[in-house]
Amino acid sequence: FPNDPNVADMGDEYMFGPAFLVAPVTEQGKTSRQVYLPAGAEWYDYWTNQRFTGGQTVTANAPIDKIPLFVRAGSIIPMGVQVPSTATAQALESIRVYPGADANFALYDDDGVTNDYRTKGGRKAVLRWDDKTRRLTASGKLPTGQDAASLVQIVSAK
């Protein structure tokens, strides 16, 4: 967020990829904390789906089992089914779309065993969200073989 001077010296929040803003609680016994949401984007509380305008500080609940986590509007988040090990085939549970801006996401998978991804590639699908039409399209085949349309969950702001 190069146009937001408030983030230059921030040391207790971080972006995990382009979508997630993580705000860890580092003091024992604290159950909430102040989180600055960078300007230039809209944000969703991951746990409650409450939508916030960037450029402000909000109080985030932080019970022992949930870290304050925010998702940038205009993000596509594939959610996998929990598997017992990396040897188990992965399936998608849903594809969450956080409206508020257009988005693209490349979902890639290789065979999980060899280094063939270096030369032969793998399976890849490009997901595109058009915020104006509120439509998700997929080009290519989802690595899991599933149909993208049946997995889409558009997050509704609260």
Provide the pLDDT for residue 123.
Answer: 74
Domain with CATH 2.60.40.1180 in the chain: 5-72, 75-154
Answer for the pair 62, 32: CB distance below 8 angstroms, yes or no. Answer: yes
Q: Which residues lie across from 72 on neighbouring strands?
A: 43
Per-residue pLDDT of the chain (158 residues; tens, 9 = 90+): 888 999 988 889 999 999 999 999 999 999 999 999 999 999 999 999 999 999 999 999 999 999 999 999 999 999 988 888 877 777 788 899 999 999 999 887 776 677 776 776 677 788 999 999 999 988 877 767 777 778 888 898 77
Number of H helices, E strands in the chain: 0, 13
Place of tokens 């408030």: 6
Place of tokens 């017992």: 84
What is the reported pTM? 0.87
The CATH code of the domain at 5-72 is 2.60.40.1180
**CATH label, 75-154, candidates 2.40.160.50, 2.60.40.1180, 3.40.50.11540, 3.90.1150.10:** 2.60.40.1180
